[in-house]
Structure 1
């Protein structure tokens, strides 16, 4: 994973502080949402050996589309939101995202 992508709440706090130092507006929810999406995107880029699929938010779900724009996967949070999942146990969420990536990529 990239140093720029927070993988736990401590790293979220550090990234929030960096935004503040730069005079940028950011809140915890936005940082976590971006982190979860970016983590999943990184897993897909690694699994496919390049950026072929896109990960985006659709409501509370993460939707994976292929290079033609066709939905190839959808991941739902275990709690009410991925923010809650991340706050409760970021490591477990990251493992789950990695497993979901393997399932979606392997299913094609």
Structure 2
């Protein structure tokens, strides 16, 4: 995973501080949402050995589309949101995203 993608709340706090130093207005929720999407995107890029699928938000779900724009997977949070999942247990969420990636990629 990239150093720029926070994988726990300590790294989220560090990224928030970096944004503040640069004068950028970003809240914790946005940093976590970006991190969750970026983590899943990184798993897909690694599994497919390149950037072929795109990960985007659709409400509270993460939707994976293939190079043709067709939906190939949808991942939902375990709790009310991925932000809460990340705050409660980021390691478990990351493992779940990795498993979901393997299932979606392997199912094609």
Output the TM-score relative to the length of structure 2.
1.00
- Gap regions ≥5 residues in structure 2: none
Deviation, 1:16, is 0.1
Residue equivalent to 2:64: 64
Output the TM-score relative to the length of structure 1.
1.00
Tell me whether 1:25 sits opposite 2:53 in the alignment.
no
- Gap regions ≥5 residues in structure 1: none
Deviation, 1:55, is 0.0
- The Cα offsets for residues 45-93 of structure 1, whole Å up to 9 and x where unpaired, read as 0000000000000000000000000000000000000000000000000
- What secondary structure sits across from 1:97 in the alignment? helix
Runs of 4+ in 1 over 3 A off after TM superposition: none
Deviation, 1:25, is 0.8
- What secondary structure sits across from 1:3 in the alignment? coil
Aligned residues: 108
CA–CA distance in structure 1, aligned partners of residues 7 and 38 of structure 2: 10
